[in-house]
Amino acid sequence: MKYSEYDFNNKTILITGAAGFIGSNLAFYFQENYPDATVVAFDMFRSGETFSNGNLKSFGHFKNLLGFNGVVISGDITDKKALKELEHNYKFDFIFHQAAISDTTVQEQDLMMKTNVNAYEDLLKIAINHGANMIYASSAATYGDSDRFEVGFEQPNNAYGFSKVMMDNITYEYLKKDLDISIVGLKYFNVYGPREFFKNKTSSMVVQFGHQVLKGLTPKLFEGSDKILRDFIYIEDIIQANILGCSPKKSGIYNVGTGKARSFEDIVNILQKELDIDNGKEYIPNPFVGSYQFFTQANIETTEENLGYEPKYSMEEGIKKYIPEIKRLFEQEVK
């Protein structure tokens, strides 16, 4: 499905984090809809390197790009030499910046800032030099302890959320200048869908619960899960927002969610219904009380008004569309 009347054919598009969840979905969106576009997929593919928390430094996985026929470049956005080569070798029309340390439990604050904040400004300078519109991933993690999910009410409670606030602050500073490009930041809420599996423990509870059910396990939910609500958004609505963000003169920072909070209980109920398996539910104490968000819900009024964004997938519709991929992953990657 095309989300814009704009023709991306014969345009050159840079996607950072292109072997990750959202980046790879963007890469295939352009390949399927605009076969004459030049898509440069830049990613720091995974190695065995881990952070102090034991999680991988990069979730980029070649399997997310199987079937992709654009340009693939392995590189680190903090490597100024690699960025110089990108700037020298191509003339970009659009930059979709999805690369980041997105693991909220990472303790290396110095690396978080270099990767998420400083590298973003370096890429923004390339966008300005090339006259390329910049669309980048911000995050609902910027809201943290806030009880108001609107731009301007951020209260991050971890280094990741803070780094995304700093990215947004850089955007505001650059937008004060008379630029010939647009800069659009998208605050993603809880995204789920195909190509997230290789995020491992940081993948959505939709795929994690789905695989628990297929294994014959009883899904474990925190006590009171029917009252723990999040704004869960299907990947295709995230892609829609990115494409709509390409429109000129739409600069700004926008929430991308459904505007409707749903419970973790709902996820399990829908999954078991769609899989036609009822393993029941088990309730366990929530060890994170005091440092846990019990509610997130995107205010998407400005996103709808300025970008023309309209979420297409309810949770029921999103999970139903996702089920075949959850089953395929279970057969090929989990079993």
What are the tens digits of pLDDT across the range 253-299?
Answer: 999 999 999 999 999 999 999 999 999 999 999 987 766 778 999 99
Residue 184 lies in a domain: yes
SS3 79: coil
The answer to whether 192 and 235 have CB atoms below 8 angstroms apart is yes
The answer to whether 226 and 232 have CB atoms below 8 angstroms apart is no
Burial class (CB in 10 A: 0-12, 13-18, 19+), 152: exposed
Q: State the catalytic residue, choosing from 199, 234, 254, 322.
A: 199
Residue 229 lies in a domain: no
In order of 100, 111, 216, 220, the CA distances from 52 in angstroms are: 17, 12, 33, 27
pLDDT score of 87: 98
Phi, psi of 88 (to 5 degrees): -80, -35
Cα-Cα-Cα-Cα torsion 189, 139, 136, 66, nearest 10 degrees, comes to -60
The answer to whether 288 and 228 have CB atoms below 8 angstroms apart is no
Q: Taking all residues of the chain, what is their mean pLDDT, rounded to a whole number? A: 96
Report the DSSP beta bridge partners of residue 135: 96, 184
Residue 68 lies in a domain: yes
Residue 92 lies in a domain: yes
Q: Say yes or no to pLDDT of 26 above 90.
A: yes
Instruction: Count Cβ atoms below 10 Å from residue 82 Cβ, excluding itself.
Output: 16
pLDDT score of 142: 97
In order of 17, 226, 271, 284, the CA distances from 223 in angstroms are: 36, 8, 19, 6
Residue 114 lies in a domain: yes
The model carries a pTM of 0.97
Q: Which two tokens stand for residue 169?
A: 């602050």
d(CA 198, CA 19): 10
Q: Which of 149, 26, 35, 161 is nearest to 103 (CA)?
A: 161
Count of domains forming the chain: 1
Q: Which two tokens stand for residue 95?
A: 């930059």
Averaged pLDDT, 235-241 = 98
Q: Which two tokens stand for residue 32?
A: 């399927």
In the chain the beta strands, taken as DSSP E runs, fall at: 12-16, 38-43, 71-74, 94-97, 133-139, 183-188, 190-192, 220-222, 229-230, 232-234, 252-256, 262-263, 282-284
Q: Which of 42, 41, 17, 19 is nearest to 30 (CA)?
A: 41
Query: pLDDT tens digit string along 37-87?
Result: 999 999 999 998 999 999 999 999 999 999 999 999 999 999 999 999 999
Residue 150 lies in a domain: yes
Domain that holds residue 51: 12-203+234-259+297-313
Produce one character per residue of 185-221: b if its CB has 16 or more CB atoms within 10 Å, e if not: bbbbbbbbbbbbbbbeebbbbbbbbbbbbbeeeebeb
d(CA 308, CA 304): 5
Q: State the catalytic residue, choosing from 34, 90, 160, 309.
A: 160
Query: pLDDT tens digit string along 182-237?
Result: 999 999 999 999 999 999 999 999 999 999 999 999 999 999 999 999 999 999 99
Give the CATH number for residue 167.
3.40.50.720
pLDDT score of 249: 84
Percent above pLDDT 70 for the chain: 99
Averaged pLDDT, 320-329 = 98
Residue 214 lies in a domain: no
Active site residue 199: yes
pLDDT score of 291: 66
CB-based contacts of 269, cutoff 8 Å, min separation 6: none
pLDDT score of 102: 93
